[in-house]
Amino acid sequence: MPEHAPTLQLIGVAVLAVAAVVWAVVLMRLLRRAGRRTVVRRSTVPLPALPSQTRVGPSRESVELTPAEQDAFAGLVRHLANG
């Protein structure tokens, strides 16, 4: 036991270590259990508790680019792709 560390500090470290181990074990069990459920329950039926989504916003808009704008955009993409 280090002489410069108070007893309460050593107890705190031990408690935190035990809590971390317990947390890791619980997390692993939950992930394993969730993994089994997702393998068994792969269906394309939507969840009954969620309402269906409706589109209420404005319609999508698109604008034709001029050849100069298309070239500028292609140059920008090449510049960003090169880093």
Instruction: Write out pLDDT tens, residues 33-50.
Output: 887 765 555 566 767 777
Alpha-carbon dihedral sign for residues 60, 64, 70, 72: negative
Task: Note the pTM of the prediction, 2 decimals.
Answer: 0.40
What does the alpha-carbon distance between residue 31 and residue 48 come to, in Å, rounded to a whole number?
24
Cβ count near 11 (within 10 Å): 10
Q: What's the pLDDT score for residue 56?
A: 79
pLDDT at 51 over 80: no
The domains of the chain are located at 1-46
For residues 1 and 10, the answer to whether their CB atoms sit within 8 Å is yes
Comparing 5 with 30, the larger pLDDT belongs to: 30
pLDDT at 4: 80
Per residue in 2-26, pLDDT (tens digit) is 678 898 999 999 999 999 999 999 9
Q: For 45, list phi and psi in degrees, rounded to 5.
A: -75, 130
